[in-house]
Every structure is written in structure tokens, then in C-alpha cells.
Chain A
Amino acid sequence: KAGVTQTPRYLIKTRGQQVTLSCSPISGHRSVSWYQQTPGQGLQFLFEYFSETQRNKGNFPGRFSGRQFSNSRSEMNVSTLELGDSALYLCASKVDYRSYNEQFFGPGTRLTVL
């Protein structure tokens, strides 16, 4: 079974631009979560989607948004990019959000904001 895939793997943007990252979950997984990973803060939870609805949300500003499609694929968008948004953005999928089950991470998208 194919793992979680994320595109693109690397991205360079400038301040003020916006960016969209994509995540395809493992087949059969309907929950997708997004995390921001930085050296200083580690892994921080952004949000979780299930059945095209946001189920959980972390403490990030409204510039960070996401959506999920009917095939469980998910996108996250960051508008008005800031230098501090430079990070590795990780997507993780799991079967369901309604009970605890293991989540599997993708390789991430490395975003650099200049």
C-alpha cells in the first residue's frame, strides 16, 4: 500500500505571497492532519480534516487554512507569507478521527520564505 504523499517536496516563496500544499493520504484513510515542524518549536499541530470537515484546530493564525476533498486528499494554504513560516510542513493520515488510531506521516514539504 502506498504511503502518504506530499507535493511539492520543496518550495521557495517570497514574503507576502501565498502557497498551497497538497497531501494524498494512504488509501482507506479518511482523516488528514497537518503539522508545522521547525527547529525551535518542533512539531506543532495545525488542523485535522475528516469527511471534508475540519475536526480539530491548533493555535495558528487565520492565514493558515485547509480543506479536504471527497477523495480524502487535502490541501493547506498559507496566505501573506512571513519569514517565520519557513518550515517543514507534514501531513499525516489515519483511518478515522473518532477513536485513537495510528497516524502515518508523509515526507513533508520544505517551505522557504525569502
Chain B
Amino acid sequence: QQQVKQSPQSLIVQKGGIPIINCAYENTAFDYFPWYQQFPGKGPALLIAIRPDVSEKKEGRFTISFNKSAKQFSLHIMDSQPGDSATYFCAATNSGGSNYKLTFGKGTLLTVNP
């Protein structure tokens, strides 16, 4: 059972475009939603994270939008650059439970063309 569904699998945008990656979750106990960025040959690195008590969080050019009632959240990258080309993973966990393992989406391969 996949508890975090991520779409699209791949995305190509032009420089300056605003790619949007969407995730949906099923487990209502999830209360912490991080996004990871992974470059080829590297491990995933935390990019930005949100808790459901806010509907939006911005860090630089990266914004997470959160819709608790729909159990969906999305990543927007403003003014995308070729250096943003990477695989992006959404994830979710119950930070107040006894098991803090992250459940990941399957990833989105983003290509930003110059």
C-alpha cells in the first residue's frame, strides 16, 4: 500500500518556469511533510518541510502549499534554473508517534532547460 502518491513522474520546464509537483497522502496521522532534493550520485537532502497547521511555507524560490482537508501538498519552484534539475521526493511521517520513519513518494525527475 503506497501511502504517499507523487505526480508527475517526470517534468520538463524551461528556465524561469514554475514546475509544480504534487503529493497526496492517506494516513491522517501524518503531521510532518518534508521535501527532499536528490542530484545524480548524491543522497537525498532536505529541501523544505511543512506541518499541517500552516497552508503555505516559502524558503527562497521553493514554496510548499498544503491542503489538509484534501490531504494533498505540493512543491512549487519559482523562477526555476537549470541547477534545479534533480529528482524531488515528497515524504510524510507522524512526528508524535512511536515510529518516525519517513514514507516517501516515488519521486519526480525535474529537468529545467536553459
Question: Taking beta carbons and an 8 Å cutoff, which residues of A are in contact with B?
Answer: 4, 33, 40-45, 48, 56, 58, 90, 92, 97, 99-100, 102-108
Residues of B within 8 A of A106 (CB): 43
CB within 8 Å of A: which residues of B? 6, 32, 36, 41-46, 89, 93, 95-96, 99-107
A100 in contact with B45 (CB, 8 Å): no
Question: With contacts A100-B93, A100-B100 known, is A42 near B44, CB below 8 A?
Answer: no
Q: Are B101 and A100 in contact (CB under 8 A)?
A: no
Given known A42-B107, A56-B99, A100-B100, contact A107–B93 (CB-CB < 8 A): no
Residue of A nearest to B103 (CB): A45
* Chain B proximity of A22: nearest CB distance (Å): 15
A48 adjacent to B101 (CB under 8 Å)? yes
Given contacts A45-B101, A97-B100, contact A107 B43 (CB under 8 A): yes
